[in-house]
Structure 1
Amino acid sequence: MNRRRFIATTGASVVSWNAFAAPSEKVNIGIMGAGGRGTALAKSFSKIPGVQIGFIADPDFNRATNAAGEVEKISGKAPKVDKDFRKILDDKDIDVFVCAACNHWHAPSTILAVKAGKHTYVEKPCSHNPREGEIMVEAAAKYNKLVQMGNQRRTWPKIREAIDLIHKGEIGETHLAQSWYLNSRPSIGKGIEKPAPSGLDFDLWQGPAPRKAYKDNYLHYNWHWFWHWGNGELGNNGIHLIDVCRWGLGVEFPMSVHSSGGRYMYKDDQETPDTHMVEFNFNQGKHIQWLGLSCNRLPEGNTPDILFVGSKGTLAIKGSGYIVYDSKGKEIKKATGDGGESEHLANFISAVRGNGKLNSPIPEGHKSTLLCHLGNISQRTGRTLKCDSSNGMILNDPEAKKLWTREYEPDWELKL
């Protein structure tokens, strides 16, 4: 399939997102990545009836062992552990692969997993660059496997209710979605080159990314702030909010993207912005705006996570609930509900068993992740991007187009 044909057909992929059943009553899961997210996912999946964590892999073997111990406390049975996730792919007893590793691993491991016959749950953002997302969608279709992205708000009951209200015209014709993410992160300092810690296979951790020497401010979280492995705050947390904005507005690919901001709070090694403003413009006069402040918090309660603006009023999403206001700002409806990840994971397992469809199949996850990539590309090039509104491709900007993909470590190039 050539690239143009692929882009034209991914929205109507041949894969059926609800047509699968597990090979046995029990769903056996292998998890790549045993940090905070991987351990949390292992514990949450373990609590779903009929689900077993059979394998945990992490290049930091100590973390894999610790996560296995947490699973054993819940299930009474410790999973296998290894530093190399490819052992999960080779294990015929594993039905489902979960990627909770770093961003540069999300697409390469998912593609290998579906090729190995595993349905896959991949953390957000689903890819490190736009081309990886395209290949993920193509791979899921080619190998006829379910792939769900970990953007849990797609399953939160009251968020789904809020989006349904918007689509039914509760606030009239909706033309703008604004979103905010606030944090108070410290400086990452200046890294010192030194040997990797005992128990960490740093070469395997880097995997598909071209090799860099280890520095003591890379792991286990600060990789987010280096373009080589991460996608900044926009890809780290903005993806959650931008996905809901896109969902509510009913848009897919932008016609232009503008980014501004920078790293202002500290003079350290961080490459990504701590103050980041991005605007996405779509056909039909629809717009998404995102403000990310990594090192500044506003007074609690003064800002919603997302605000939809319509011709008859506004709908504000805060946490796992929402409030509807009329055009004069009067509250007319309010709802709160459950959040967390358990229902999103249960939705994925239900689809694997052949009961219902995914709430965030990879074609949708890719479209939202692509917006984050485009925002970052605009930031890195310092100019507005013009895009093809049918597929998101960057137009008339050779420098920006180079960031559509990346260089890979030899033998780690993505292949279908």
Structure 2
Amino acid sequence: MINRRDFIGRAAATAAVLTTTTAKSYARILGSNGRVNFAVIGLRSRAYAHLAALHANKESAQIVTVADVDSRYLDKFCSDVATKTGNSPKGEKDFRNALSNKDVDAITIATPDHWHAPMGILGMQAGKHVYVEKPCAYNPQEGLWLVEAQKKTGKLCQMGSQRRSSKPVMEAIDRLRSGVIGKPYWAETWYATARQPIGVGKPIPVPATLDWDLWQGPAPRQAYTDNVHPYNWHWFRKWGTGETLNNGTHEVDVAVWALGVGLPRRVTALGGRFQAKDDWQFYDNLDVAFEYPDAMITWKGSCISGKKTYGRDRGVAVHGTKGTMVIDIGEWEVYDEKDHMIDSSAKVVKTAAAPSSDRAGIDVHTDQHFGNFIGAIRNGEALHQPVAQGNISVTALHFANIAYFTKRSLNIDGNGMILGDKEAQAMTKRAEYAKGFEPKV
């Protein structure tokens, strides 16, 4: 049997074999006692949840490489990894150096959204397993390419929607399947937080610490301004995907799971930018309806007010013919038709969750989601959120954005095509890529 390093070194030259390789065969090659070597890419807030999760799984995983286009965050993260784990990772400004590193088995992606799918595709093509933060893709077309790349390479790709590995949420889904609220027909989802305006950006010289060209990557080029990096890119259409996919992905994915549905047949969105006149290009409040043949999902997002729903700043309420179940990442409650609580996770298991204002999201659920990913690589466990599954919720939310910007409802066929609306269908893909950064599958 070849050793792990020899296998990884040959991976790029044996893509045809990898196409049919299973997770269990990876485990046999790696060895059940071997630790998985990770490269963490994109080192701002969410990367610290990746660090914490990999440290929580330190018996089976370790960080050997980290990468970021801004040396400020690269240097700090390298230091923080060394302090937390006792091991000093190799730091890279260009993530492609991590992909060519034969010691790296898997990468984690916590970059701006526009890099998620292109980087994930390159990672799998380089023979790496991929853990990609939500949303797995910047647009529906890139989601399809990412899923196709996974199928072609046979590499594992897990989307970072950690509720799929939350024990309380899994318990809630089991209770729903048992018929505790009768037949579920409506999943009501929401997210609320108080964000501040981002102002009108001023052109300034690119900071000496930042590789602005590599930061932009596949996106068309533009001059640097002072209100984009490191966080406000979320609210620019060239790089971000708005609050629907920044946070709505989590709750809508639980709703899809709870109702057992796929892509919606009709999507309607209503909202606007009400807080300020600034460079923010998305809505700050949005109501969305996803319609299915015999069910519906709604999402309400607010970036102005943190007013809670059902006592929570984010969550899911699944309504059925015999009651309602309210689900948070760390707990659930069941109410009968007269709004009396009849059961809750307090009797089973309850774990704390970070508030909606927390950008890192360090919690036991992320630890468990990483544990599942590592177990899939080492031992052939089934992934809790394989990218083909996660991309369903992501694509539905992209349709919500398109419905908002076109100001009309979208009708969707069973294959994810928008019917009778060429303008809307054209918005499912990027019109232009920067030369040399075009995704290729």
Range into which the TM-score falls when normalised by the shorter chain:
over 0.9
Other structure's SS at 1:86 match: helix
The counterpart of 1:396, out of the listed 420, 425, 431, is: 420
1:230-379 matches, within 5 Å, as 230-283=240-293, 285-299=294-308, 302-303=311-312, 305-336=315-346, 337-338=350-351, 339=353, 340=363, 341-379=366-404
| Identical counterparts, % of pairs | 40
Distance 1:245 1:17 in 2: 28
SS state at 1:401 partner: helix
Change (3 A) 1:357 1:19: farther
TM-score (norm 2): 0.88
Q: CA deviation at 1:204?
A: 0.6
Runs of at least 5 residues in structure 2 that lack an aligned partner in the other structure: 1-18, 354-362
TM-score, length basis structure 1 = 0.94
Structure 1 position 65, deviation (Å): 1.3
- The one-letter amino acid paired with 2:392 is K
Give 2:26's match in structure 1, choosing from 20, 29, 38. 20
Indicate how the Cα distance of structure 1 residues 202 and 397 shifts in structure 2: closer, same or farther if over 3 A, else same.
same
After TM superposition, the structure 1 = structure 2 runs for residues 205-224 of structure 1, keeping only pairs within 5 Å, are 205-224=215-234
Output the aligned Cα RMSD. Answer: 1.5
Deviates more, 1:329-338 or 1:252-261: 329-338
What is the rounded CA distance, in whole Å, between the counterparts of 1:167 and 1:366 in structure 2?
A: 23
- Equivalent residue pairs, number: 402
Alignment partner of 2:227: what SS? coil
Displaced runs of 4+ in structure 1, greater than 4 A? 13-19
Q: Which residue of 1 aligns with 2:8?
A: none
Structure 1 residue 167: deviation in Å?
1.9
Distance, in Å, in 1 between the alignment partners of 2:118 and 2:90 is 22
- Paired with 1:332 and 1:19, the residues of 2 have a C-alpha distance of 46
TM-superposed CA distance for 1:328, in Å, is 1.2
- For 1:29, the aligned partner's letter is F
CA contact (8 A) 1:43 1:71 kept: no
Deviation readout 1:382-415 (Å, 9 max, x if unpaired): 1100100x22211111100111110211121111
Alignment check: 8 A CA contact 1:59 1:200 kept? yes
Match of 2:130 among 95, 98, 120: 120
User: What SS class does the counterpart of residue 186 from structure 1 fall into?
Assistant: coil
Secondary structure of the residue aligned to 1:184 is: coil
| Deviation per residue, 1:62-104 (Å, 9 max, x gap) | 2111111111012211100011000010000100011111100
**Could you tell me which amino acid in structure 2 is paired with residue 357 of structure 1?**
A
**Structure 2 CA distance for aligned equivalents of residues 366 and 185 of structure 1:** 27
Larger mean CA deviation between 329-338 and 15-24 belongs to 15-24
1:16 Cα shift? Answer: 4.8
Check if 1:408 corresponds to 2:418. no
Indicate the SS of the match to 1:126: coil
| Contact in 2 for aligned 1:312/1:326 (Cα 8 Å) | yes
SS of residue in 2 equivalent to 1:64: helix
Whether the 8 Å CA contact 1:42–1:67 is kept in 2: the answer is no
SS at match of 1:28: strand
Tell me how far 1:301 sits from its aligned partner. Answer: 5.5
* Cα separation, 2, equivalents of 1:232 and 1:168: 35
Q: For the Cα contact (< 8 Å) 2:114–2:137, is it kept in 1? A: yes
Counterpart position of 2:68: 58
Q: Distance in 2 between matches of 1:121 and 1:63?
A: 20
Amino acid at match of 2:388: P
SS of the residue corresponding to residue 328 of structure 1 reads: coil
Deviation at 1:300, TM superposition (A): 7.5
Structure 2 counterpart of 1:95: 105
